[in-house]
Amino acid sequence: MTQCLNPDCLRPNPPQTKFCQSCGEKLVLKERYRPLKIIGQGGFGRTFQAVDEDKPSKPFCVIKQFFPQVQGTKSLEKAAELFA
């Protein structure tokens, strides 16, 4: 399975798919990391399990997506700081 990273979509796609069949977004991040599924979701965003397709051993890795659910510049700055 390949998980779409678009926050408004998040649709699972068949393995090896290059573009999301629902929203048309590119599925492989930086032509390298293929998201497989969502493994975490919280106030700062989402965490995806992914595969590094650039390495021969295709190791698992993690994609963290910053997607804070806060309003206002100050809270956003704080969220960005904590996320980093």
Terminal-residue alpha carbon distance, the chain: 29
Say whether residue 29 binds Zn ion (CB under 5 A): no
Q: Counting runs of H as helices and runs of E as strands, what totals does the chain give?
A: 1, 5
Residue located via tokens 């390949």: 2
- The yes or no reply on residue 38 touching Zn ion (CB under 5 A) is no
Candidate ranges 13-21, 36-44, 49-57, 64-72; the one touching Zn ion (CB under 5 A) = 13-21
Which region among 8-16, 32-40, 49-57, 60-68 touches Zn ion (by CB under 5 A)? 8-16
Q: Tell whether residue 4 is a contact of Zn ion (CB under 5 A).
A: yes
Which residues bind to Zn ion, rule: CB under 5 A?
4, 6, 9, 11, 20, 22-23, 25
